[in-house]
Each structure stands twice: as structure tokens, then as C-alpha cells.
Structure 1
Amino acid sequence: MRAALGALSGAGQVTNALSMGFSVVSTDAGHQMESDALVGGSMFGVDPQARVDYGYNAVGTVTPAAKTIVSRVYGRGPDKSYFLGCSNGGRQGVVAASRHATLFDGIVAGNPGIDLPKAAVQHAWDTQHFAAAAPLSASGRALIGQSFSNTDLALVANATVAACDALDVATDGMIDNPQACKTAFTPDTLQCTGAKHAGCLSGQQVNSLKAIFSGPKNSKGEALYADWPFDAGVGGAGWRFWKPGFSQTDVPDALIMTMGGAALPYIFTTPPVKVSSTGFQVLDHLLAYDFDRDAPKIFATDSIYTESAVSFMSPPPRGSQRIQECRRQNDRLPRQ
């Protein structure tokens, strides 16, 4: 759990809300990190209540308690209450805006991780396609971090800019018309006509990139998550950190295969699948993930896990009873 400091993200901030005199509260979202470094942050997913707490209930429970503490310490409640979060915290903010709208006067949802269960399905999809383009170790396992060299990714980035830079009318090294870029650039133009060399991509690399940027699909060709526009960022360290990783061994280090790899079986699958960090269990789960059989489990419920991952991680449906109640409460609030 982060210390209750009220960090102010972005814009080079060097202070925090606590040091500025505000009362601050943070929450561990109903669970703590287990000792296992790889899957320990996701093992709470076997507890149905912990799942709901992680999704939305922790914010709804902790915030009223924090306001009560403020009232008892200072003799009155807070004048204004704000929620601030980034990434999954940003998702919590978006969810809180609908599920707990009356608790806050404002919400800052930075880089919100919307549809995280579906994004986790993308992790498995990406892993499989990176593995398909990777050389093999002596033991026959994919060296996923070597599926694309830095030179390969720079080649894709430069070709994307060359094809798409001027689509927004300004030739400035930036791609600001990503929708048009989807048809203006394709990795097919970079495929080697002969042996692989530094100035081209192998046929399998081209196929893997096209699949990754098209987004995960089932055997019927139905989209399971969003597609992605090609962009110069594919050549940056950030993309490599998230996607194929830097590892030169058969032990992957990409974020989608470590943190994301454990979240998919434990938190976003119903019922949860217990994998261990021993050996290659997390990676093998991603590599064996079936997009017909397994992907629907992010929507599944059963007698123990009565709320699906997509449900507890998301705002409720627009017409839900909870939304309507929030609106009724909001209508009763005094107006200045």
C-alpha cells in the first residue's frame, strides 16, 4: 500500500497534499502483497470478497471511514473531498465516479486502466505472437525478448513516421492522425524478400506485428479487445518494457508477462486458476491461453464468484439501479 501522502502526479511536482496541509487517506484495496514476487500481487484473486474490494468496494468503504476520522479529529468534516489516482488508480477513479459519486467533489483519473480484464486477454495474445517470432533457447523455449531487436523496432518506427507523419497536414515527426495511419502503414512493406537482415523483417515478425496491433480475436474473428494504431513509440524503451521485454534468456521480463501474466489467471478469470511462479508456470499459462475457451471467463460467474471480473472492475451499466441512486442523491445536493 502506498503511504498516505497524496502524491501530485505530473508537471514535475515535488510536493504532496499531506505536506500542503490536507488530510490524506490511501487504501490497499482490500489485500496485501504476498511473499511470492511474481504472483504475490495477484493471489488475493482466489478470495471473492477481495476481488470486489479491489474492483470498487475498498474506495466506497475507506472514504466514509476517513471522513469520520477527520470529523472526530477536527470537529467537522472536510470542506471538499477529492480522489486522485493513476493507472489502476485512475480506473478506480472512473469507477468511483459512478459507484461512489456522492463521496467526492472531484476526481482526477490519470491514465485510467479501462477494461483491464480485456487488456489482460491482450497480454496473452501478445505473448503468443511474440513467442512465435522469437528464436529458441537450447532447451527449446522461446527467447521472447529477442523476438524483435532494437534495430527491428526502430525500422518499424521510422517507416511508420515516413508513411503517416504528413497525414495530419503538418510534417513535424509526429503522427496525429492515427486512424488514417492504420491504412497508410502496414508492416508488409518491411518484409524481407530473401534472408533476414537488419533492413527488413522476417515474414513471421510481420505476421506477429500485424496480429498484435490488430488486437486479440477468437477463432470466429470476433474482436476481444481494441486494436492499436502504429506509432513511432514502438521503437522506444517504454514499448519494449511493456511488450517483448529486454530479457536475453528464456525467462521473460516484460510487464505483460509478469504483473499482467499473474493477474489474468488469478483476478480476471472465474473461477481463478492457481499458477505458481515456480519454473515457467505463468508464462506457460499465457502461451496455452485459449481465446475461445478461456477469454469468456472474464465475464463468467459461479456460486462462489458471483460478480464477474468485467463487472467488478468497471462502472456499472448506465441504466443500473446504483447509477440511478447516485443521480437521485446528486439531485438532492445543495447548489451554489
Structure 2
Amino acid sequence: MVLLAGALPVHGAERATASAPVATGGSTAVPRCAALAGTRIPASAMSLPTTGGRVVSASVMTSVVSGETVEHCRVDAELFPVDASAPAIGMRLDLPHGWNRKALMFGGGGYNGTVPDLTQNVPFGPADRPAPLARRYAVFAGDSGHRQNPAAPPSLDGSFGLNDEALHNFAAGDAVKKTRDAALFLIRHAYGTRPAEVYFAGGSTGGREALVAAQRWPTAFDGVISAYPAWNNLSEVLDLGYLTQVLSRPGTFPGPQKQGLLYDSVIDACDGLDGAEDGIVSNPRGCRFDPAALRCPSGADTGPTCLSDPQIGAVRAMSSPFRWPYRIASGETGYPGFPFLSGADMRTPFLGFGTTAPASPMPVTSGYGMQYWDQWVKYFLTRDPRHDPLDVDPRRPGKWLARISHLSTVQDRNDTDLGPFARAGGKLILLHGAADELVSHRSTNDYYQRVRDLLGPRATRTFLRYYLVPGANHANFGTPAFAAGTDSLSALERWVEEDRPPARTVVTDMAHHRTRPLCEYPGWPRYRGGDPDSAASFTCTS
């Protein structure tokens, strides 16, 4: 990576702290696992404030990864806070035998609180290519600075927000850099050398973490995969709060059968616009559907075959931009709404809606976003676990406006100046499903456009590719219409290590054994004839 004109290429250089010791005996492809047990991690190994850390355990084990048995050293460690009342950051590394001299950090999801599975593939990863650990990457991740309450739904415990250091570790991405620095210290200690390349891959909250890493610490990672990123987290939360209020009104919530009716109607109206009737809306910008077409007689709720007037209003609220009539410190003014094109098989409920209306206390069967709002109100905004989330109106927040504005500076990671990352040689692959009903792809469109407006189209294309995947939903949740899988990691490796940009990229529907071209945004795949299950039968058009 070129940092300055005339400078030598630097790949993992900042990526390993100068204070990290070199293990005796030189470098090795087999980690010195026993030597890691009890290792102290000095605070000087991390660029952000901590009080150091320590390895809790280190042991050799085997895992089956992508069908292959991988021997590796599993290391669990803790990073200690500055505030004695804040929780420690929990982290884990898997250090393989036969190390490929590369490292990869995984991002989290939701409110985090657990260390991600290190045997997983990257977001929207392919079924026919090995996960990073099977490729002999040193892989690592953290819990972002808090441990989830085991009694809470996965990734939906926001109680850590009562502590400022924990809040910044999570929302501002501080834990990403602390974990990365500590991991590289331990990798060097284990193998006797630093990684040649360091990558990051994450989706949703992890997608935001990926963008934060590229923007705040432009030389920390050589390449980044960011999928369906919740980059403007505070702005999305305000929209989710508004929708929570709308859907909690009597008679407004459309149950699973009505959700299925709506989804089927949208597909019927828009499926063939790309030339192929395949259950996928390939050009969501060209899809026009008015939910009033499903109106029950006289607007009353007469059963599952139609929508009442309040339900039509709720659908319009979900799919329309939400604007607030006040200023917040991040400068954001709204959230673009959610296209009602979820790729989920409608014999199961929408992730965004859930199966029951939001209420207080918040049901675990309500939509994920409504539960997220509930935790945010209680622990981030009011810091009162007993506060009714329906009592806060995002349109008229009253006494909570100042706190909302402050939180926007922490949660809205909206600085799109990726110029330093680009000048350092960093590469970014950005992915989003066009049928994502939990993090709107329209928001990622906006982020990408802001980068282009700031840096210019030509400069942006030297380091960034953005792909919008038709039919794909949030993290391939449930049984999506298009279960996206693409080998973004190999593409990123070639771009970073060989200066070969992604070209003729293909995405596979892992559930239906079909392929499509992965079109650079704003392109989308149009059918031109031939086998409708083959990417070769489609061409990217704008």
C-alpha cells in the first residue's frame, strides 16, 4: 500500500504495533500456542486508551471448516477499560497451522455482545469456496466491549449503553481498533512475524464497523468487505421508532398472511420488468406498486385477502422516507425508508414486521427493528430500563432532543471521506441486498453517492466497488428469494495483492442453483435470452 509519494509499499506495517515482541526462533507457520497462555497485552499495543489486557486461555484444537479439518490455536483474551465500571472487551483469535501470512477480522451484528463465530464465511460468502480459517487465515473478532445477557434475544441487549465507554466501544467503533491492535500483537507473538495483509469483513452492524475502520483508521486494514451496513445508525433508529409507533396503533399491524399478500402482489407487479419472471425484482427503482390496490371494501379490515386503510398507511410509512423537523449534530435529516421487497418466503414472517404488533413491554415476536428501538430508548436515550419506548415520539422528541443530537455524533458514522484509505492503497467492496427490510439499501445507495460526490467518480472507482444484489434480503435471513453467495474475499485479495480490480463478477443463488451477474451500482441485470438460471443470459444495464 502506498502511503506517501516515494514511500515503500506498506501492507501490515501500521497493522502491527512497534511494541509487539518478536518471538524467539524466527517466524513460523505453526503458532506457538502454549507460549500465549497468560500473555499480558500492554496498553501501548493499542492506539486507543485501555489499561491493557491479557490472554485468558490458549489451546490447540481442531475444527471442521468448509468441510475441512483445520488444526488451530484458539486464543481467548480480554482488553481492560479505562473506566473501572465499564465492561472489558472480549475477543478471540483462531491461529491456524499452515498460516497463509494473512489476517482477517470479522464484524458483529445488532447490538453485538458475543464474539462472532470464527469458522464462518464472509457476509454473502459462497458455498463453494472455503471460509477464511479454512484458507489458513488468522481470524479474530471481539464482542465490541460488552457481554449480552443470555436471557435476551440474540444481538438485542442494549443494556451496555448505560456506560459511556461501552457505548463508544460499540457505536463509534472504538472496540474495532482496540481488538485489531491486540490481535496483531498476539499474532506476531504467536508466529514471530506480522501479517502481510490484514482484512476486515462484516455485515449490518459489522458493515458499519467496516466503514468506520476504513474512515477512522485508513491504514489499519488493507481491504474491507462491508455488507448491508447500518452506517447511519441513529438515523435508522429514529425511523424504526416512528414505525414502532405507527404499527402499535389498533388495527394497523398487518399479520403474516397480509404480509404474504403484499409481498406476492409486489412480485406480481414488478417481477417481469427485467425481462424474466423469476421471483426477483432486479430493478427496484423501476418497481411501482400502490398498496391501495389491496384495499378492503370501504377500508375496513375484512380478512387476510385485503388491507385496511390503517394497514395501507403503515405500509406506506415503512416504504417512504422519514424526515424529522429538527436539527441533530450529525447533520442527518432523515432515513430513506424500506422497500417492501423482502426476499423471505412468505410462508414465514418478515424480519422487519415480525408476527405481532409492537407494544410495551415489547414482545419478542415483534419486528427486530422494533425490539432494537425498545433497547435504544431504555439504555441509550433515557438510560431508564423502565421507560416505555412508545412514549418517545421521534417526530417530536421534546426534552430528549439534546440527547438524540449527542447520540447522533456517536452513532451516525457519516464522514464519507475515504480519501486517506484510498491513498494508502485500501480497497473496499460494498454489498447490499435490494430486498433488505432491516437496513435499507437506499441508505447504502446514499452513502456510495456521497463518497462519489466528495472524491469524484474516477477516484472512487480506484478503490471502491458497490454491488446491489437483486432479491437478496438481510444476511440471507430465513428462506430468501435469492440466497446470495459471491467470492468477495478472493476478489478483494486479487485487488489488494495483485492490483487486479473485480471484473465479470458473478453471484450465486445458493438456494435455487442459479447465477446472476453482480452489477456495479447503479447497474442491474436485464434478461437478454437463454437459460434464465445462468448469469450469461443477463447483461448489466442502468
Common fold: TM-score over 0.5: yes
Does residue 1:179 correspond to 2:285, yes or no?
yes
- The TM-score, its normalising length taken from structure 2, stands at 0.48
205-214 or 106-115: bigger deviation: 106-115
Equivalence for 1:190: 294
Quick one: distance in 2 between partners of 1:108 and 1:330? 15
Contact 1:56 1:92 in 2 (8 A): yes
Equivalence for 1:309: 408
Q: Give, in angstroms, the shift of residue 96 of structure 1.
A: 0.6
Equivalence for 1:300: 405
Q: Give, in angstroms, the shift of residue 134 of structure 1.
A: 3.3
Counting matched residue pairs gives 301
Equivalence for 2:312: 206
When residues 77 and 155 of structure 1 are mapped into structure 2, their CA distance, relative to the original with a 3 A threshold, is: same
Does residue 1:258 correspond to 2:340, yes or no?
no
Does residue 1:291 correspond to 2:395, yes or no?
yes
Equivalence for 1:131: 248
Equivalence for 1:48: 164
Contact 1:217 1:223 in 2 (8 A): yes
The higher relative CO (CA closer than 8 Å, separation ≥ 6) is in 1
**Higher strand residue share:** 2
Q: Give, in angstroms, the shift of residue 29 of structure 1.
A: 1.1
One of 217, 225, 228 as aligned partner of 1:111: 228
Task: Within 5 Å, give how 1:89-108 maps onto structure 2.
Answer: 89-108=206-225
Read off the aligned partner of 2:198 and give its amino acid letter: S
Quick one: distance in 1 between partners of 2:255 and 2:390? 22
Quick one: distance in 2 between partners of 1:234 and 1:109? 22
Q: Structure 1: which 5+ runs fail to align?
A: 136-146, 302-307
- The TM-score, its normalising length taken from structure 1, stands at 0.74
Aligned-residue identity in percent:
23
Quick one: distance in 1 between partners of 2:260 and 2:419? 50
Read off the aligned partner of 2:189 and give its amino acid letter: R
Quick one: distance in 2 between partners of 1:197 and 1:72? 65
Q: Give, in angstroms, the shift of residue 30 of structure 1.
A: 1.7
Equivalence for 1:66: 183
Does residue 1:121 correspond to 2:244, yes or no?
no
When residues 237 and 20 of structure 1 are mapped into structure 2, their CA distance, relative to the original with a 3 A threshold, is: same
Contact 2:260 2:347 in 1 (8 A): no
Equivalence for 1:167: 273
167-176 or 154-163: bigger deviation: 167-176
Contact 2:120 2:131 in 1 (8 A): yes
Contact 1:7 1:15 in 2 (8 A): no
Does residue 1:82 correspond to 2:199, yes or no?
yes
Over aligned residues, Cα RMSD in angstroms? 3.6
When residues 13 and 53 of structure 1 are mapped into structure 2, their CA distance, relative to the original with a 3 A threshold, is: farther
Q: Give, in angstroms, the shift of residue 249 of structure 1.
A: 9.8
SS, match of residue 24 in structure 1: strand
When residues 6 and 111 of structure 1 are mapped into structure 2, their CA distance, relative to the original with a 3 A threshold, is: farther
Question: What per-residue deviation string (whole Å, max 9, x for no partner) do you get for residues 45-68 of structure 1?
Answer: 122222221121111122122212
When residues 110 and 98 of structure 1 are mapped into structure 2, their CA distance, relative to the original with a 3 A threshold, is: same
Quick one: distance in 2 between partners of 1:106 and 1:11? 18
Contact 1:6 1:17 in 2 (8 A): yes
When residues 16 and 297 of structure 1 are mapped into structure 2, their CA distance, relative to the original with a 3 A threshold, is: farther
Quick one: distance in 1 between partners of 2:342 and 2:118? 36
Contact 2:295 2:309 in 1 (8 A): yes
Equivalence for 2:152: 37
**Higher helix residue share:** 1
When residues 106 and 274 of structure 1 are mapped into structure 2, their CA distance, relative to the original with a 3 A threshold, is: same
